[in-house]
Amino acid sequence: MQAYLFALGAAALWGVSPLLDKWALSRGHVTPLLAVALRAVAVAAAAWVTVVAAGVTAPGAAAQWRRTSWMEFAAVAAAGLIAAGIAQWFYFKALSASDVSLAVPVSATYPLFGALLALLMRRESLSNLRLAGIVLAVAGCFLLAWSSRVEQKRPPRPAPLTVGGAGPAAGTRR
């Protein structure tokens, strides 16, 4: 149960951050590449403060550092460069070019790629229920992309009239 609560907490926090990201990107001063760099600095600082604070009280923390191999470090570093570097840059580019309601769900289909790669490279099993979840995620992604195209082709709605027949065309403001 604790794992699900942490996962829901992560989902809720990931749901909040795109709103802040979109706001910063839409102001015109933060580019997608600068957003990646700013986020990396903030996360690195917070992570190291947490590691140091936890290391003071955690028994065996120094031994844990010594047991970490260079290969483990390289794997985590490569994953960080891929996820926190390149993928975030792609995400910020998508977010700066589209609505939050499109960029976030489409970029959130990354479990599909993780599941497929785990199936192919790690020979993990894939149950029918998990496969159905992946199919639904992909279908949702296609629906979002299709809805975006449909909405772009739709002609703009006429402005509503105000009381007395005067509307935006007559120079009144709502």
Q: What is the pLDDT of residue 157?
A: 66
Q: Would you state the pLDDT for residue 141? A: 76
pLDDT score at 164: 57
Q: Is 124 left (phi over 0), alpha (psi -120 to 50) or beta?
A: beta
In 3D, which of 61, 155, 140, 156 has the Cα closest to residue 107?
140
The reported pLDDT for the residue numbered 173 is 46
Q: How far apart are CA 122 and CA 120, in angstroms?
A: 6
Domain ranges of the chain: 1-55+70-98, 109-155
- pLDDT, residue 102, reads 83
Q: Per the structure block, which two tokens stand in for 42? A: 């903030």
pLDDT category of residue 56 using cuts at 50, 70 and 90: low
Q: Are 94 and 106 in contact (CB under 8 A)?
A: yes
Least confidently predicted of 23-27, 118-122, 136-140: 136-140
pLDDT, tens only, 69-103: 899 989 988 988 998 889 999 999 999 998 888 88
The tokens describing 21, both together, are: 């990201």
